[in-house]
Structure 1
Amino acid sequence: MNRAIKKVAILGSGIMGSRIACHFANIGVEVLLLDIVPKELDDTEKAKGLTLEDKAVRNRIVNSAFQNTLKSKPASLYDSKKASLVTLGNFEDDMSKISEYDWIMEVVVERLDIKKIVFEQVEKYRKPGTLITSNTSGIPIHFMAEGRSEDFKKHFCGTHFFNPPRYLRLLEIIPTKETDQEVIDFLMNYGDLFLGKETVLCKDTPAFIANRIGIYAIMSGMHAVEKIGLTVGEVDKLTGPIIGRAKSATFRTMDVVGLDTTVNVANGLYQGLPNDESREAFKLPKIVQELYDRKWWGDKTKQGYFKKTVDENGKKEILELNLKTFEYGSRTKGHFDAIGQVKDIENVKERIPILVNSDGKAGEFYRTTFYDMFKYCSMRIPEIADELYRIDHAVAAGFAWEIGPFATWDVLGVKQTAEKMEAAGMKPADWVGEMIAAGHESFYKFENGKKLYYDIPSKSYKVIPGTEGLVILDAFKENNIVYQNPGCTLYDVGDGILNLEFHSKMNALGAEIIEGINASISKAEESYRGLVIGNEGQNFSAGANLAMLFMYAGDQDFDEINMMIGHFQNTMMRARYSSIPVVVATSGMALGGGCELSLHSDHIQAHTETYMGLVEVGVGLIPGGGGTKEMTLRTSDAYRAGDPELNVLQENFMTIATAKVATSAYEARDLGFIRKSDDFTLNRARLLADAKNKAIELAEAGYTQPAQRTDIKVQGKSGLAMFEAGVAGMRFGNYISDHDMKIAQKISWVMNGGDLSAPTLVSEQYLLDLEREAFLSLTGEPKTLERIHSILFKGKPLRN
Structure 2
Amino acid sequence: MRRIKKVAVLGSGVMGSRIACHFANIGVEVLLLDIVPRELLPVEEAKGRTLESKTVRNRIVNQSLEAAIKGNPSPVFSKHLIKRITTGNFDDDMAAIDTADWIIEVVVERLDIKKQVFDRVEQYRRPGTLVTSNTSGIPIHLMAEGRNDDFKAHFCGTHFFNPPRYLRLLEIIPTMDTKPEIVEFLMHYGDKFLGKTTVLCKDTPAFIGNRIGVYSMLALTHLVDQLGLTVEEIDKFTGPAMGHPKSATFRTADVVGLDTLVNVANGLAENAKDDEARGVFQLPAYIRQMVENRWLGEKSGQGFYKKIKDDKGNSEILALDLKTLEYRRQEKVKSATLEATKPVDDIRKRMKVYEQGTDNAGMLFRAMHYPLFEYVSRRVPEITDQFFRIDDAMRAGFGWELGPFEVWDALGVKETLEKIKAEEKRIPGQSGEVATWVHEMLAAGHESFYKTEQGIRHYYDIQSKSYKPIPGTAAFLILDDLRGQKTVWKNSGLTIVDLGDGILNAEFHTKMNTIGGDVIQGLHKAIALAEKDFRGLVIGNDGSNFSAGANIGMIFMMAVEQDYDELNRAVKTFQDMSMRLRYSAIPVVAAPFALTLGGGCEFSMHADFVQLHAETYMGLVEFGVGVIPGGGGSKEFALRASDEFKDGQIEQNVLRERFLTIGQAKVSTSAAEAAELGYLRAGQYAISMNRSRLLADAKAKAIELAEAGYTQPVPRTDIKVLGKQGLGIVYVGANSMRSGNYISEHDQKISEKLGWVLCGGDLSSPTEVSEQYLLDLEREAFLSLCGEKKTLERIQHMLTKGKPLRN
Settle same-fold status: TM greater than 0.5.
yes
**Mean CA deviation greater in 277-286 or 425-434:** 425-434
Structure-2 residue corresponding to 1:415: 414
Structure-2 residue corresponding to 1:438: 444
Contact persistence 1:587–1:610 (CA under 8 A): yes
1:462-489 superposed Cα distances (whole Å, 9 cap, x missing partner): 1011111321112212211100112121
Could you tell me which of 674, 690, 694 is aligned with 1:668?
Answer: 674
Could you tell me which of 566, 591, 599 is aligned with 1:593?
Answer: 599
Contact persistence 1:346–1:505 (CA under 8 A): no
Amino acid at match of 1:545: N
Structure-2 residue corresponding to 1:236: 235
Any idea what SS the aligned residue of 1:183 has?
helix
Structure-2 residue corresponding to 1:126: 125
Per-residue deviation at 1:288? Answer: 2.1
Per-residue deviation at 1:790? Answer: 1.4
Could you tell me which of 469, 473, 478 is aligned with 1:472?
Answer: 478
Structure-2 residue corresponding to 1:726: 733
Does residue 1:531 correspond to 2:530, yes or no?
no
Distance 1:488 1:379 in 2: 42
Structure-1 residue corresponding to 2:210: 211
1:543-586 superposed Cα distances (whole Å, 9 cap, x missing partner): 11111111111211111111111111111111111111111101
Could you tell me which of 682, 686, 690 is aligned with 2:689?
Answer: 682
Aligned residues: 799
Distance 1:642 1:377 in 2: 68
Distance 2:103 2:717 in 1: 55
Could you tell me which of 742, 745, 752 is aligned with 2:752?
Answer: 745
1:471-513 superposed Cα distances (whole Å, 9 cap, x missing partner): 1112212211100112121111110111111111111112211
Write out aligned runs for 1:596-611 (5 A): 596-611=602-617
Distance 1:576 1:538 in 2: 26
1:10-50 superposed Cα distances (whole Å, 9 cap, x missing partner): 00000000000000000111111111111111121122221
Distance 1:497 1:288 in 2: 55
Per-residue deviation at 1:348? Answer: 2.5
Distance 1:562 1:161 in 2: 51
Distance 1:282 1:510 in 2: 50
Structure-1 residue corresponding to 2:25: 26
Contact persistence 1:346–1:504 (CA under 8 A): no
Distance 1:333 1:271 in 2: 39
Could you tell me which of 556, 559, 570 is aligned with 2:576?
Answer: 570
Structure-1 residue corresponding to 2:400: 401
Distance 1:642 1:412 in 2: 68
Structure-1 residue corresponding to 2:724: 717
Any idea what SS the aligned residue of 1:586 has?
coil
Distance 1:710 1:245 in 2: 50
Contact persistence 1:581–1:699 (CA under 8 A): yes
Distance 1:542 1:436 in 2: 43
Distance change (3 Å), C-alpha of 1:799 and 1:288: same
Amino acid at match of 2:680: I
Contact persistence 1:222–1:287 (CA under 8 A): no
**Mean CA deviation greater in 767-776 or 790-799:** 790-799
Distance 2:233 2:377 in 1: 28
Write out aligned runs for 1:44-59 (5 A): 44-59=43-58
**Mean CA deviation greater in 537-546 or 303-312:** 303-312
Distance 1:564 1:418 in 2: 53
Structure-1 residue corresponding to 2:428: none
TM-score, L = length of structure 1: 0.98
Does residue 1:222 correspond to 2:217, yes or no?
no
Distance 1:403 1:265 in 2: 23
Structure-1 residue corresponding to 2:375: 376
Amino acid at match of 1:359: T
Per-residue deviation at 1:222? Answer: 1.4
Any idea what SS the aligned residue of 1:468 has?
helix
Write out aligned runs for 1:42-191 (5 A): 42-191=41-190
1:583-640 superposed Cα distances (whole Å, 9 cap, x missing partner): 1101101001110110111110010000000001111111111111111111111111
Gaps of 5+ in 1: none
Any idea what SS the aligned residue of 1:579 has?
coil
1:499-553 superposed Cα distances (whole Å, 9 cap, x missing partner): 1111111111122111111111111111011111101222101111111111111
Structure-2 residue corresponding to 1:308: 307
Structure-2 residue corresponding to 1:545: 551
Structure-1 residue corresponding to 2:567: 561
Amino acid at match of 1:585: A
Distance 1:786 1:373 in 2: 49
Amino acid at match of 1:762: V
Any idea what SS the aligned residue of 1:748 has?
helix
Does residue 1:513 correspond to 2:538, yes or no?
no
Distance 2:487 2:67 in 1: 50
Any idea what SS the aligned residue of 1:520 has?
helix
Distance 1:9 1:275 in 2: 37
1:352-392 superposed Cα distances (whole Å, 9 cap, x missing partner): 22122211000011111122211111111111111111111
Any idea what SS the aligned residue of 2:546 has?
coil
**Mean CA deviation greater in 709-718 or 334-343:** 334-343
Contact persistence 1:446–1:474 (CA under 8 A): no
Distance 1:328 1:341 in 2: 31
Distance 1:630 1:404 in 2: 43
Distance 1:643 1:237 in 2: 57
Structure-1 residue corresponding to 2:427: none
Per-residue deviation at 1:241? Answer: 2.0
Structure-2 residue corresponding to 1:282: 281
Gaps of 5+ in 2: 424-430
**Mean CA deviation greater in 21-30 or 545-554:** 545-554
Structure-2 residue corresponding to 1:264: 263
Distance 1:745 1:427 in 2: 70
Structure-2 residue corresponding to 1:346: 345
Write out aligned runs for 1:497-512 (5 A): 497-512=503-518
**Mean CA deviation greater in 141-150 or 411-420:** 411-420
Distance change (3 Å), C-alpha of 1:258 and 1:232: same
Distance 1:524 1:661 in 2: 32
Any idea what SS the aligned residue of 1:493 has?
strand
Contact persistence 1:173–1:199 (CA under 8 A): yes
Per-residue deviation at 1:108? Answer: 0.2
Structure-2 residue corresponding to 1:759: 766
Any idea what SS the aligned residue of 2:215 has?
helix
Any idea what SS the aligned residue of 1:477 has?
helix
1:321-342 superposed Cα distances (whole Å, 9 cap, x missing partner): 1222211122234221222223
Distance change (3 Å), C-alpha of 1:344 and 1:614: farther
Distance 1:50 1:303 in 2: 39
**Mean CA deviation greater in 388-397 or 69-78:** 388-397
Could you tell me which of 778, 785, 789 is aligned with 1:782?
Answer: 789
Distance 1:783 1:322 in 2: 44
Write out aligned runs for 1:327-338 (5 A): 327-338=326-337
TM-score, L = length of structure 2: 0.98
**Mean CA deviation greater in 789-798 or 151-160:** 789-798
Structure-1 residue corresponding to 2:462: 456
Structure-1 residue corresponding to 2:805: 798
**Mean CA deviation greater in 287-296 or 336-345:** 336-345
Amino acid at match of 1:749: W
% identical aligned pairs: 60
Contact persistence 1:59–1:90 (CA under 8 A): yes
Structure-2 residue corresponding to 1:701: 708
